[in-house]
Structure 1
Amino acid sequence: MNRWKSLLAMVVLAWAVPVLAVPTGITVRVKSKDAKFIGTTMGGALITIRNAGTGELLAKGVTSGTTGNTDRLMRHPVTRGAVLSDTAAARFSTTIDITEPTLVEIKAVGPLARTHAAAAASVTQWLLPGKDLNSGDGVLLELPGLVLDILTPAVHTTLAAEELPTTVELRANLVMMCGCPVTKGGLWDAGRFEVRAIVKRNGAPLGEFPLAYAGEPDKFSGTLPLKDSGIYDITVYAFDPATGNTGVDRTTVVVEP
């Protein structure tokens, strides 16, 4: 009888002992599609790691570091198992305490320096206690898109009807999501991008107007003829037909009657 009481006590004690959480490391890197890592120069990318079942936030942070090695990322053929990052390449590293295999959602949003151009990507995978995800590139996410900023006309540029007819310069700055430059004949060749302005006047389509490479890195320009008063809504886009990367920005011009 005493033997059975002892066994029962041991079982009860085993159930009463808390399961200890195990620190588990994870590194996340975020790469711009057809370009390099999104790091400090572009404000980084926001990383969130959540329990996929409960939605509980397990970790949060921002990638920091350099855009990485250009030759390794853009010039050398990528073979199976090849590591794209170097020690300086942008990343977010953290440690999560878990007690059992946990399905997690890892999400990236960026670049944070240009929120109007920000894209998001996520992956769901199992995280095992004590089995770090730090080797190689860690967890690698890719963000599509381009960062396009309209430089002129500034939003709500106002003209008087007496100035008509006139033209307004359309000028835009275009870079990759990692901040990598767009130049004539460069690694990201300006000639491969289609850059155009879609214009509406008082809500009615007015037409599309091309912007061409302006002769200096990242800059594209064109002209918009103005003949009538009204509110001109200008959406400028850049598109790379080879990759599908797209960037968009918007501004307005008001011609008062």
Structure 2
Amino acid sequence: MRFRFRVFSLLSVLLFCFGSLAAQETTVMVRALAKDAKFIGSSIGGAKIIVRNAETGAILDQGFTSGSTGDTKLILKTPQERYGSLTDEETAGFKAELDITEPIFIEIEAHAPFNKKQTRVVSSTQLWVIPGKNITGDGVVLEVPGFVVDILSPQTHERIKSSEVVSLKANIVMMCGCPVTEGGTWDANQYEVKAILAAEGKESREIALKPTDKASTFEAETSLDKGYYTITVYAFDPVTGNTGVDKTNIIIN
């Protein structure tokens, strides 16, 4: 009888222990915030979020941030106080759901903006997550520096006669897709936008692109001698250090 009681007691203890190790779904809200701008969400295709076990590299969850870029006044024009929030229910984010049985050290990556390969960067951080202890609200916010730069003209591999004017045009937006305009929240006059014109056997030239009446659009005109040219357009903000680049190739004949 005592033996049966001991076996029963041992089984009870084992069941209790195994029960305590059952996986608990734990939520971690992850957001990507463009440097000097707003959150990266649906309007620009989102940021790809990958949550890994930092020790093994195993992916625990992944997906894309979705939602709005957030409240401009709250994010950029309101002094931040301790424990204050930068987000609301509509602000872009990705809710990672982790099934974990014990505290785990994780690494979170934001690849953003994901749909713009020439400008996509990776921002990451690491932290401990405890089973059942959700990280919500603003959650984990990863800063994403830079500009999205798209060369609009000339087109890739376009052939242009040396006697013709070469039109240089580029679209510049913040990493969240927010527009750049003269005198706006993101002031086009604050940024340095230039084209580097390079061809084999020729000295490289730089030409400044100026803002136009159309939001986020910068342009200039030039003439070029015959050759195969690589055109590099960059944007630089001397205040924040944000940078962005796009390249294309053309033929002058």
CA distance in 2, matches of 1:17, 1:130: 17
Q: Kindly, what percent of the aligned residue pairs are identical?
A: 43
Cα deviations across residues 27-61 of structure 1 (Å, max 9, x unaligned)?
11111000000000000000000000111110000
Q: 1:131 to 1:86 in 2, by over 3 A?
A: same
Alpha carbons 2:123, 2:142 under 8 Å: kept = yes
Pairing 1:178–2:170 present: no
TM-score between the two structures when normalised by the length of structure 2:
0.93
CA distance in 1, matches of 2:249, 2:222: 12
Aligned-residue offset at 1:252: 1.3
Pairing 1:10–2:35 present: no
Alpha carbons 2:51, 2:96 under 8 Å: kept = no
RMSD: 2.1
SS at match of 1:116: coil
Match of 1:138 in 2: 139
Match of 1:55 in 2: 57
Q: Structure 1 stretches of 5 or more lacking a match?
A: none
Match of 2:229 in 1: 232
Which of 218, 222, 225 is matched with 2:220 structurally?
A: 222
CA distance in 2, matches of 1:205, 1:105: 45
Runs (4+) of structure 1 moved beyond 3 Å? 1-5, 15-18
How many residues in Structure 1 have an aligned counterpart in Structure 2?
Answer: 251
CA distance in 1, matches of 2:182, 2:249: 29
Alpha carbons 1:36, 1:68 under 8 Å: kept = yes
CA distance in 2, matches of 1:164, 1:249: 23
Match of 1:241 in 2: 238
Aligned-residue offset at 1:224: 2.5
Match of 1:97 in 2: 99
Alpha carbons 1:203, 1:233 under 8 Å: kept = no
Aligned-residue offset at 1:164: 2.6
Aligned-residue offset at 1:181: 0.8
Q: Which amino acid aligns with 2:229?
A: Y
CA distance in 1, matches of 2:177, 2:68: 11
Alignment of 1:97-176 (within 5 A): 97-134=99-136, 136-159=137-160, 163-176=161-174
Q: Which amino acid aligns with 1:91?
A: G
Match of 1:189 in 2: 187
Q: 1:24 to 1:171 in 2, by over 3 A?
A: same
Aligned-residue offset at 1:95: 1.7
CA distance in 2, matches of 1:13, 1:75: 57
Aligned-residue offset at 1:206: 2.2
Aligned-residue offset at 1:190: 0.5
Alpha carbons 2:71, 2:87 under 8 Å: kept = yes
TM-score between the two structures when normalised by the length of structure 1:
0.91
Aligned-residue offset at 1:77: 1.1
Q: Which moved more, 1:141-150 or 1:3-12?
A: 3-12
Aligned-residue offset at 1:203: 6.0
Aligned-residue offset at 1:23: 1.1
Match of 1:212 in 2: 210
Alpha carbons 2:195, 2:231 under 8 Å: kept = yes
SS at match of 2:74: helix
